[in-house]
Amino acid sequence: MSKPMTRLSLLLVTLALTLVAETTRAQELNVAEEAAIREAVDRVAPSVLQIETVGGLVQGGGPLEGASRTTGTVISPDGYILSSLVGFIQEPSGILVALPNGKRVAAKIVAKDKNRNLILLKVETDVELTVPESIARTELRPGQWAIALGKTFSPDRPSVSVGIVSATHRVWGKAVQTDAKISPNNYGGPLIDIHGRVIGILTPLSPQDPGASGGMEWYDSGIGFAAPLTELESRLDVLKEGNDLMPGLLGINLKGNDIVADQAEIAAVRYNSPAQEAGIQVKDILIEANGRPIERQAQLKHILGEAYAGDTIAFKVKRGDEELAIDVTLAEKLVPYDRPLLGILPQRSTDEAIIEYVFEDTAAHSADLKAGDKVIRYDETDITDSESLRNAVATAEPDVPHKLTIVREGAEQEIEVQPQSVPDKFLTGAPKPEVPQDATEQDGIATGESDFQLAEEQNAAKLFVPEAAKKLPELGLVVLLGDVDFKLESMRDAWHEQAETFGFAVLEILPADGDRWKRAESSVVRKMIDRVRDNYNIAPLRTVTVGGKSGGAMSLIHGFENRDIQNGAVAAEAGVPRGTNVPDCEPLSQLELVFLVPRDEKRADFVKKQVESLRELKYPIIEATMPDAETIVLSSAEIAQLAIWLNTLDRI
């Protein structure tokens, strides 16, 4: 028995020694990694500076008291510093930077990079600042170390968050992604590699919201972004001259909604845009840009996402059987798109473009169009349904007459029309939706009121569906965004009454904390709308959000971000929150706004200034005054007016 025991003992001893050796190696590796991280941090720490902003404006236009802190990264020895634009949304009245020697010096804003949400500052100092080494994005590999630094808490020692490079081209090519914890604690600081080389400047970014605060909802979530520093270095001279860097605009809309699968076929070209001036046409297919192939729309978005105003893109375009080379210089701004209104409401229960109603004092009314007319052609474009007519009117040359071909009582007629701008008032007279005579009741359509809270979200919600939903071909949708001020209970019966009359569902949603809405909750609103759309046939052209105070701000935010499923937003005693991206009006997406202005003169002035700015961008806006200075609860009359407005939003 002794011999087997000896072998077993030797085996156990060998195993124990192996485990000890592996443990020792693992410990040594951990020690080496920690030492490498410390060395990398120490190498770049003198280039990471604490910034303190003083004063500025809060939402509503009033002064901001106190100070806030953020981080900056040195990019030149003579005092130029890059930081994240989000730390300066409040337009501070003073900026102080803590230098490595402990001295605090004033800084001024030089210019902004509004494509990657960065800001360039300048301090005047006799001390030469330390410029860190950078690493090109082309040298990065997913999975390698990434270390995020910030000095929000202390001007002496940076906070450190360790992770990896998750991806090298995110947010349409604008950024490197990391799973290190990125938040306001390190926005403006550098993301570095294990050798202390700067990968990029940390800043919130979002593929959906290009505004200064877009992407902040992901902070500390393992999804963070850094704008590559080496790609910014070639543009620093422009910034140093005081010129802002702006996203480059082409001026097109693409056909289809699947950016991953659909080719880059042109559905609309904005007039006076770079695309039109270069000769790009509807039905062209973009197949190459700057030598990079374009097989899917997503590839085009990546190429344009990296580009700035003033950049020239060399496109290869397929037009029929030809391939053309077209160079386009991207613009900083496009001529605001002014949506034309023909002045008709199309029938909703037919596949053809048949007029249901003609609004008074419109181009259609002046041209003597009548209910029952069937539109078959707009200029040289064949019209097959109301959607093709809508697109033809929206994309045609503005401010000139157009030829409309209709069928009336079996005979074709050509009528000249010149669409006008959408009026800044409620249109009236449109008939209420009627159930088609041959309609049968649909099975499985739940009506009435029900709780609608999603299991994965904290936001309380209710859904009301009218009885007419069982027979109507489609429903409108009103999304009510309540908060501590905009209380929904007292308005519920009036909304339900109008829902039965005009054939729309009512979705009530409260903020997660039951008090006020936070910007990040826009995604929750979208998720709930999508859930309603999964269960009912909802018309995107008759989907609106309605809110007051913080709910009114959320109504606007959600509208700007989700024009594919919503075309109306109502804000009671609320304006557009600071830092919100306001997109250009476009031919193939629309958003009409209603502002219920507060009676308080100071708050009203703030909202009215925003209304004027939005009108300059050619947003269709209706402005009214709240009837009661003591409450923002809507009256039955106001709710009835909004229901009538909703019933006209699919007009052409």
Q: What would the mean pLDDT of 523-539 be, rounded to a whole number?
A: 95
Checking if the pLDDT of 626 tops 90, the result is no
What are the pLDDT digits (tens) for 112-152?
A: 999 999 999 999 998 899 999 999 999 999 999 999 999 99
Q: What is the pLDDT of residue 55?
A: 80
Residue 239 sits at φ, ψ, to 5 deg, of -65, -40
**What is the reported pLDDT for 534?**
94
pLDDT at residue 27, rounded to an integer: 64
Query: Measured in whole angstroms, how far is the alpha carbon of residue 522 from the centre of its chain?
Result: 10
Q: Residue 3: in which H helix or E strand, if any?
A: helix 2-44
Q: How far apart are CA 39 and CA 41, in angstroms?
A: 5
The residue-averaged pLDDT of 550-574 equals 95
Q: Architecture of domain 35-166+173-244 in CATH?
A: Beta Barrel (2.40)
Q: Where does the pLDDT of residue 29 fall: very low under 50, low under 70, confident under 90, or very high at 90 and above?
A: low
Share of the chain above pLDDT 70, in %: 91
Q: How far is CA 411 from CA 367, 380, 406, in A?
A: 17, 18, 8
pLDDT of residue 62: 44
| 569 or 438, which is more confident | 569
Query: Distance (Å, rounded) from C-alpha 397 to C-alpha 391?
Result: 12
The confidence score (pLDDT) of residue 121 equals 97
Model confidence, pTM: 0.81
Tokens of 307: 């580009």
Place of tokens 């009671």: 572
Alpha-helical regions (H) of 213-314: 229-233, 236-240, 274-278, 297-306
Q: Count Cβ atoms below 10 Å from residue 40 Cβ, excluding itself.
A: 21
- Which phi and psi (to 5°) does residue 468 adopt? -60, -15
- On the question of pLDDT at 13 being above 70, the answer is no
- What pLDDT was estimated at residue 61? 46
Question: 61: burial class by Cβ within 10 Å (0-12, 13-18, 19+)?
Answer: middle
pLDDT confidence of 579, banded at 50, 70, 90?
A: confident
What pLDDT does residue 473 have? 87
- Span(s) in the chain for CATH 2.40.10.120: 35-166+173-244
Q: Domain 340-421's class?
A: mainly beta
Q: Which CATH superfamily is domain 448-646 in?
A: Alpha/Beta hydrolase fold, catalytic domain (3.40.50.1820)
262-292 pLDDT, tens per residue? 999 999 999 889 999 999 999 999 999 999 9
Give the tokens for residue 591: 């958003």
pLDDT of residue 23 exceeding 90: no
Grade residue 568 by pLDDT with cuts at 50, 70 and 90: very high
Query: 44: pLDDT confidence band, cut at 50, 70 and 90?
Result: very high
- pLDDT for res 20: 61
In the chain, which residues fall in CATH 2.30.42.10?
252-329, 340-421
Question: Which amino acid is it at 643?
Answer: A
Mean pLDDT in the chain?
90
Per residue in 414-464, pLDDT (tens digit) is 999 999 999 999 998 899 888 777 777 777 788 999 999 899 999 999 999
Q: Where in the chain is the domain with CATH 3.40.50.1820?
A: 448-646
Query: What CATH number should be reported for the domain whose range is 252-329?
Result: 2.30.42.10
Mean pLDDT of 514-522: 92
In this predicted structure, the answer to whether residue 63 has a pLDDT above a threshold of 50 is no
Element (H, E) at 359: none
What is the Rg, in whole angstroms, of the alpha carbon atoms belonging to the chain?
A: 29
What does the pLDDT read at residue 2? 46
**What are the b/e assignments for 7-39, b being 16+ CB within 10 Å?**
eeeeeeeeeeeeeeeeeeeeeeeeeeeeeebee
pLDDT in tens, 348-381: 988 899 999 999 999 999 999 999 999 999 999 9
| Amino acid at position 280, single letter | I
The answer to whether residues 81 and 99 touch, using CB atoms and an 8 Å cutoff, is no
pLDDT of residue 580: 86
Concatenate the DSSP letters of all residues of 227-250 into one string: EEHHHHHTTHHHHHTTPPB-B-B-
